[in-house]
Structure 1
Amino acid sequence: MPAQKKADVVVIGAGIVGAMSAYHLQQQGRSVLLLDRTGPAAGASAGNAGILAYPEIIPIPSPGIMFKAPKWLLDPLGPLSIRPAYALKIAPWLWHFWRASSRKAFEQGIAAQTAMMELAATEMARIRAIPGLSSFIDNTGTLDLYDSEASFNAAAHDWLVKEKAGFEFKRVGRAEIEELQPGLAPQFRHAMYSVSGLQVNDPKEFTRAVCAKAEAAGAVLKPAEVVDIAATGEGAVVTLANGERLDAGTVVLAGGAWSRKLAARLGDKVPLETERGYNTTLPAQSFALKRQLYFNDHAFVVTPLAKGIRVGGAVELGGLDLPPNYARSKNLLAKAARFLPELDTRGGTEWMGFRPSLPDCLPVIGYSTASRSVIYAFGHGHLGLTQSAATGKLVSDLAAGRATGISLAAFRPDRFR
């Protein structure tokens, strides 16, 4: 067996959450070894829509959701679907999803996400002020579009909740919609506009830039697959696929959709599932896109990137092993073409990535039940980029034994027991 090597902190996963965790830990004087199977920003951090979605505080599991879910799940190209081959495997996750839809759990989820989003906005503002990172974030504004007055009114309660949480927006009609984003189909006569909407214009390069900042501060980035974590009296032992063993003082598990198996090795059975997200990135000249567009009745977005236009959103629950179903991305692109009649859909690049999804839409952030030397930071679903800076700060607080800026009770790893 290869000799066991020493490490101060091992961060597992070089997506945006792992990158932010490594950066914060290095800034507080720790020595970080950042491990990833395929390198930085190789997964969901490369293909996300780039939205810093601070107002998204409403959990998907909500009172009455289970009456709507069957219709979604049975539509193979709908906003949320499960392939028949995966239905039995995901049954435990769906049970927890149902439990999270109770009125009490729903209200607790809103409170937890509101606190998390306040911290996320504060910490990302600090990141945005760092030379070399500020150029990645643009203030584009966000336009939430509805097909009809009925669907707009049906969402009124959600907007009221967001307003009470301190988010600012205004209702706009057709004339203002046309001014804010020319070229939309005439059916869109009802929308909400947020002038403060922020866009990461290149999520992949932004993640790599954060990794580079951590490396510049002394972190070491190493390509490696982790196959085991074992708690010890003074820390934890990390075992790599090549047989190498690392004796670490602290381990941060930020492996996204691949985190469940490693958490289970420590005795934590977290019901983490995999949302398979699809999108198409079109050339920048495909449409004169001015800002982020949410098509709320169809569960997809169109966002402006530095090098193109990204069309994506709908979710398939299908694990890590099933082959991609690119009919989903094609369906989204066809809808986008109807809603943006001048959109040129030629020359796009299709993508499918894995988002780590927990049934209550809250991430796992906290100590492993096996040891306070192992910190979990995974399961952010669609909000990994949005909450990455906050998560990195929370991880550094936990590693130092400091009080965290928000309560982590709602994010604890054992909450599903």
Structure 2
Amino acid sequence: MRIAIIGAGIVGLATAHALLDRGHQVVLVEPGGKQGRPTDGNAGWIAHTDIMPLTSPKAWRNLPRWLMDPLGPLTIRPAYLPQLTPWLLRFLLASSPSRIKASIGAIRSINGEALPAWKSLLSSLNLSSHLREKGILSVWRHRDDFLRAQEMIERQRRFGIEAQALSPAALAEMEPVLRNVEAAVLYPDACHVSDPAWLAADLLRLALERGAVHVAAQALGIDPRDGGIHVRTDGAGAEVAADRAVVSAGIWSRSLAAQLGDRIPLDTERGYNATYPQGSFGIGRPIMFEGEGFVTTPLDTGDRVGGAVEFAGLEAAPNHRRTDAMVQRLTRFLPHLESEPPARRWMGFRPSIPDSLPVIGRARRDRRVVYAFGHGHYGLTQAAVTAQMVAGLVEDRPGPVATEPFSAQRF
């Protein structure tokens, strides 16, 4: 079949290869140069060990403290609150114990297949050199907060996720530059990539070498007619004709889904980061600073600190005072950063769904259109397994993970 993939971020690119593997023709509809794509500046984690939705008790425990700080880990710009209110109401509904339990089950089902899917994809393309298997650390500034996290850690272990509590001496040996940390857990099976933008560039290059076509245009609409699917664009060719279509355009997917009868509660958690010259942090692996709202990663292109959540939509200008405040909080743990020169700053649009589950499934009005968007903080983690799920939906056969929990019609 001829399949149009709308969006060439990490999910769309992984999906292109899954479909090329099965002998389909692929057309990538992507304007290029779009500012704020998470693929171009995320933390680079394959965080398949995560199991908790954003609605978890941990998030609610930190929420009042975060909201009190206008430059803290989470903020809502007042002018955007009326537009965000429906999303917030769904977030509240997703916070019930039964909904959290269901979300945990769904997250584990997809994350449990995430790393094997990535290893298979990278190996098949001779791109395994992008993978950095050094584990991921979670650290706590206060031991009391670590003790409150024990239930979550034990639940991870029951899912078969290895979580090693580290003694102060073991932590000091592993990451000697860290300060003001009273507890730490190592997830030895977690990993990261060389740089997410580098990985995406290689996936695009190889997709084109394998015969995929890139249409450098913005998709404006999807019209099922004349026995096929027609993607309207703002490009010179105006339309892309296909047998099937995959909507994988991140936050920009919402309007396309609405045209197909699916009202998706999709909004953007604007994330900020700063990237310093390689080696500036002096760390050997990614670190989650629990309760602080940020993470660090030693990428091949530089040491990155990223995180924070800002709800302000797509149009508001970045507020890099948030980036500066995040870096300042990081100096509690890495005091030597005070003397480092300014870093490259970036802001991107995470496509977020209130229950922390992506939308992976068929469109309401036409089964020939498949959705693959809304991965929030897990776009890179879940991209390769999402691609396998999408390939199954396109061909009407079972994929590696049941798609029912991720259906667009669950709303």
What TM-score results when the alignment is normalised by the length of structure 1? 0.94
Alignment of 1:141-220 (within 5 A): 141-185=135-179, 187-220=180-213
Are 2:72 and 2:326, in contact at CA under 8 Å, matched by a contact in 1? no
Q: What aligned pairs does 1:268-307 form with structure 2 within 5 A after superposition?
A: 268-307=262-301
- Quote the residue 1:3 is aligned against: none
Task: Indicate how the Cα distance of structure 1 residues 42 and 318 shifts in structure 2: closer, same or farther if over 3 A, else same.
Answer: closer
Tell me, yes or no, if the aligned pair for 2:35 and 2:348 is still in contact at 8 Å.
no
Correspondence for 1:256 among 250, 254, 265: 250
Residue 90 to residue 149, structure 1, CA distance change in 2 (3 Å): same
Do the aligned partners of 2:389 and 2:403 also contact (CA within 8 Å) in 1? no
**Which residue does the alignment assign to 1:4?**
none
Q: Determine the C-alpha separation between the residues in 2 that align with 1:70 and 1:152.
A: 19
The count of aligned residue pairs is: 409
Partner residue in 2 for 1:350: 345
Cα pair distance change 1:392/1:153, threshold 3 Å: same
Q: Distance between the aligned counterparts of 1:246 and 1:375, measured in 2?
A: 16
For each residue in 1:176-212, what CA deviation from the matched residue of structure 2 results, as whole angstroms up to 9, or x when unmatched? 1111101111x21211012222111111010111122
Is 1:380 aligned to 2:375, yes or no?
yes
Query: Which of residues 226, 235, 242 in structure 1 aligns to 2:219?
Result: 226
Check conservation: 2:49, 2:190, Cα contact below 8 A: no
Q: Which amino acid aligns with 2:315?
A: D
Structure 1 stretch 381-390 or stretch 65-74: which is displaced more?
Answer: 65-74
Percent identical: 38
Q: Please list the CA deviations of residues 139-170 of structure 1 after superposition, one character each: whole Å capped at 9, or x if unmatched.
A: 12211100111000111111111111111021
- The alignment status of 1:401 with 2:396, answered yes or no, reads yes
* Per-residue deviation, 1:40: 8.8
Verify: 1:310 aligned to 2:295, yes or no.
no
Q: Verify: 1:37 aligned to 2:31, yes or no.
A: yes
* Rounded Cα–Cα distance in structure 2 between residues aligned with 1:62 and 1:225: 36
> 1:342 is paired with a residue of what secondary structure?
helix
Q: Could you say what secondary structure the match of 1:289 adopts? A: coil
Distance 1:87 1:209, change over 3 A: same
| Partners of 1:15 and 1:40 within 8 A in 2 | no
Whether 1:319 aligns to 2:310 is no
The answer as to whether partners of 2:119 and 2:128 remain within 8 angstroms in 1 is no
Cα distance in 2 for residues equivalent to 1:357 and 1:123: 23
* Structure 1: unaligned runs, 5 residues or longer: 1-6
- Name the SS for the 2:103 alignment partner: helix
2:87 counterpart (93, 113, 121): 93
3-state DSSP of counterpart to 2:243: strand
1:17-28 alignment, distance < 5 Å:
17-28=11-22
Matches within 5 A, 1:38-187: 38=32, 43-62=37-56, 69-185=63-179, 187=180
- Regions of 4+ moved over 4 Å: 39-42, 63-68
1:237 equivalent in alignment to 2:212: no
